[in-house]
Amino acid sequence: MTGPHFQVLFQSKSSPARRGRLRTPHGCIETPAFMTVGTAGTVKAMDPVDLKNLGAEIILCNAYHLFLRPGHEFIQKRGGLHPFIGWDRPILTDSGGYQIFSLKGFCKISEDGVTFQSHIDGSQHFISPEKAIEIEAALGADIIMAFDECLEYPAEQKRTQESLQRTLRWAARSKSAHHRKDQMLYGIIQGGVYPDLRKQGVEGLLNLGFDGFAVGGLSVGEPQEEMLKVLEAVVPLIPENKPRYLMGVGTPGDLVEAVLRGIDMFDCVMPTRHARTGILFTSRGELHIKHARYKTDDLPLDPACDCYACKHFSRAYLRHLFIAKELLAIRLNTLHNLYYYLSLMSKLRQEIAQGTFEAFRHNFYQNRALGI
């Protein structure tokens, strides 16, 4: 690709919020963007046509899961992820660092990399920064992530400092192993909730040079105010011409607040995972469809929503499907939640471009305060 990968189209005059466009070999991504999570090469209960109809421009797949099953070499022989899963739009792959380090008691960290047991069959594996890049290169995503170490919350400062330095050394090795010019490589900023360590993390990655920068190590149990403090310390240090990605976040309120602070990209399993447990996002907050109060409720799930589920079915019917454990319940719930998230991001882009983001943010919270 020639020319800049990322372009800021509109910059808010009252905040760091911005509207941008990210170019990839498989198409452009309008930012701020939410990436639907297709961990194992599929967004649960959705097919590629569903996702396109919902407005999804990019999905996230996980290198750790695809490495274990069906295997990165297996996928590479079939042309890479795009043809294998039938998705011709952009893909980002996470290196799997978070998944590996979440296997408490089943992994051993060394300077070389991580030895871990598969959550599938208990078999032993080893991933180094070089191996992670090899896996991601074989998968062929448009955007790939450097291998990093993610800590739990809270973690003491000394341990966080040691982990940060290892992450920076691994970032350098990831960068050296990266050779595919059609793949953008993002560095991951670690440093816990310590502003001075986060600053070190940004400076270390800037010295190495990456196509984009992700804020990692959040959405691990910290209060929202801690997360926002980290963003306020980190985002101003990231060059304006580079995309900023907040990993694993989050609630609709998290998205609005992070966009306000200048974040461009997000991913989270929340809309799909919540859909499977009957928790649905609406303009007035979360609705738990299994509650008895909806048994005879003939209103749409969210009267302000234009998704297929809201335009055609009542809360009473959606509750019936969920209580009866019908597969259609999961499909309709997922369709609605993803529509809500993707429409929210579209609205945020529009409001930033029009210079009305602050007014939208005020109305967003005012509507949620009304309740279901």
Convert the pLDDT of each residue in 112-122 to its tens digit: 999 999 989 99
Is 94 among the catalytic positions? yes
pLDDT at 103: 76
The three-class DSSP label of residue 267 is strand
Mean pLDDT, range 202-211, rounded to an integer: 98
> Among candidates 188, 198, 111, which has minimal Cα distance to 161?
198
The pTM of this model reads 0.97
Query: Active site residue: 94, 142, 254, 302, which one?
Result: 94
The two tokens of residue 144 are 């790939």
300 secondary structure, DSSP code: B
Distance CA 226, CA 229 (A): 5
The verdict on domain 6-268 having CATH code 1.10.3720.10 is: no
Distance CA 351, CA 57 (A): 19
The two tokens of residue 365 are 């919270």
Largest CA distance in the chain: 61
Residue 72 · residue 95 · CB < 8 Å: no
Domain limits, CATH 3.20.20.105, in the chain: 6-268
> Among candidates 123, 122, 111, 66, which has minimal Cα distance to 91?
66
Terminal CA-CA length for the chain: 48
Mean pLDDT, range 327-349, rounded to an integer: 98
* Single-letter code of the amino acid located at 36: T
Inter-axis angle of helices 327-354 and 315-323, nearest 10:
130
pLDDT over 70 at 3, yes or no: no
Write out pLDDT tens, residues 13-25. Answer: 999 999 999 999 9
Query: What DSSP string describes 107-133?
Result: EEE-SS-EEEE-TTT--EEEE-HHHHH
pLDDT at 186: 98
Write out pLDDT tens, residues 132-178. Answer: 999 999 999 999 999 999 999 999 999 999 999 999 999 999 999 99
pLDDT at 2: 55
pLDDT at 104: 73
- What proportions of the chain, in percent to the nearest 5, are helix, strand and coil? 45, 20, 35
Distance CA 40, CA 48 (A): 14
Kindly give, in sequence order, each residue whose CB lies less than 8 Å from that of residue 179, ignoring residues fewer than 6 positions away: 137
Is 267 among the catalytic positions? yes
Q: How confident is the model at residue 105 (pLDDT cuts 50, 70, 90)?
A: confident
Q: Residue 136's Cα: distance from chain center in Å?
A: 17
> Considering the chain, what percentage of its residues have pLDDT values greater than 90?
95
Task: Return the ∠ at Cα 168 (arms to 162 and 171), rounded to 5°.
Answer: 140
Residue whose tokens read 């991580």 = 114
Residue 205 · residue 189 · CB < 8 Å: yes
Query: Active site residue: 121, 267, 302, 306, which one?
Result: 267
Q: How confident is the model at residue 9 (pLDDT cuts 50, 70, 90)?
A: very high
Q: Residue 284's Cα: distance from chain center in Å?
A: 23
Residue 167 · residue 190 · CB < 8 Å: yes
Q: How confident is the model at residue 99 (pLDDT cuts 50, 70, 90)?
A: confident
Question: Cα torsion at 72, 74, 78, 81 (round to 10°)?
Answer: -30
Kindly give, in sequence order, each residue whose CB lies less than 8 Å from that of residue 237, ignoring residues fewer than 6 positions away: 199, 202, 203, 206
Query: What DSSP string describes 140-164?
Result: T-SEEE-------SS--HHHHHHHH
Write out pLDDT tens, residues 19-68. Answer: 999 999 999 999 999 999 999 999 999 999 999 999 999 999 999 999 99
Distance CA 82, CA 262 (A): 30
Write out pLDDT tens, residues 261-284. Answer: 999 999 999 999 999 999 999 999
The two tokens of residue 60 are 């996230």
Query: Average pLDDT, whole number, for the chain?
Result: 96
Distance CA 212, CA 197 (A): 19
pLDDT at 19: 98
